[in-house]
């Protein structure tokens, strides 16, 4: 005989199904991957979290800035975690603030395939950058990283105490 939900459990499930998580929350990623049938590598999880962030988030702003700096068009893919932009039909860019090791770079190379090329812009990497024929691995310039504002949740301006503009000659004043 199936059990029915109590009011408490129904409310709890409704809350879990409708709650909103912060853009870089692991809960948001977990909710999206609950039915995934693939095993993800750490850099893929980082890329997925990156993709979940809003267009105004620090990761997206950094990716767009690096794309412009390197001559790529910023156009993140909805289906491929490593496509943050492109310069041609077969030349792509991947931007991450992680330090990548040879295993992660090999996985990227395998994911990209032989018919495409990928510029990998990362904070740091280990291994020889020319080991993979379809990857070009470069560090994100420190000048770019240092210009990004990290750790802010709110970039709004306080505009409540602005001085009043002086009245122009001949301008009528309206009283409310």
Q: In what order do the strands lie in the sheet with 91-95?
A: 73-74, 85-86, 91-95, 117-122, 135-139
Is 157 a residue whose pLDDT tops 50? Answer: no
What is the per-residue pLDDT across 52-72, written as a single tens digit (0 to 9) for each? 554 556 677 788 888 888 999
Residue 108: count of CB within 10 angstroms of its CB:
24
Domain boundaries, the chain: 10-147
Question: What is the arithmetic mean of pLDDT over 71-85?
Answer: 90
Beta-strand (E) ranges in 80-131? 85-86, 91-95, 99-100, 117-122, 124-125
Rounded Cα distance between 135 and 132, Å, is 5
Check residue 155 and give its pLDDT: 45
What is the per-residue pLDDT across 97-134, written as a single tens digit (0 to 9) for each? 888 999 999 999 999 999 999 999 998 898 888 899 99
Is 171 a residue whose pLDDT tops 50? Answer: yes
Q: What's the token pair of residue 54? A: 């809003």
- The answer for residues whose C-beta is within 8 angstroms of residue 121's C-beta and 6 or more apart is 66, 70, 93, 94, 95, 96, 138, 139, 140
């Amino acid at each position: 005989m199936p059990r029915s939900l109590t009011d408490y459990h129904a409310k709890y499930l409704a809350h879990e199904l409708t709650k909103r998580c912060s853009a870089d929350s692991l809960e948001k990623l977990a909710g999206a991957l609950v039915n995934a049938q693939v095993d993800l590598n750490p850099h893929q999880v980082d890329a997925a979290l990156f993709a979940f962030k809003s267009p105004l988030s620090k990761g997206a702003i950094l990716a767009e800035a690096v794309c412009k700096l390197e001559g790529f068009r910023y156009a993140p893919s909805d289906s491929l975690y490593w496509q943050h932009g492109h310069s041609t039909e077969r030349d792509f860019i991947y931007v991450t603030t992680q330090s990548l090791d040879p295993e992660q770079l090999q996985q990227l190379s395998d994911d990209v395939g032989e018919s495409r090329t990928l510029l990998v812009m990362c904070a740091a990497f280990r291994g020889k950058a020319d080991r993979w024929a379809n990857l070009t691995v470069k560090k994100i310039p420190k000048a770019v990283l240092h210009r990004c504002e990290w750790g802010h949740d709110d970039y709004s301006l306080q505009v409540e105490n602005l001085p009043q503009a002086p009245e122009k000659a001949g301008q009528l004043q309206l009283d409310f």
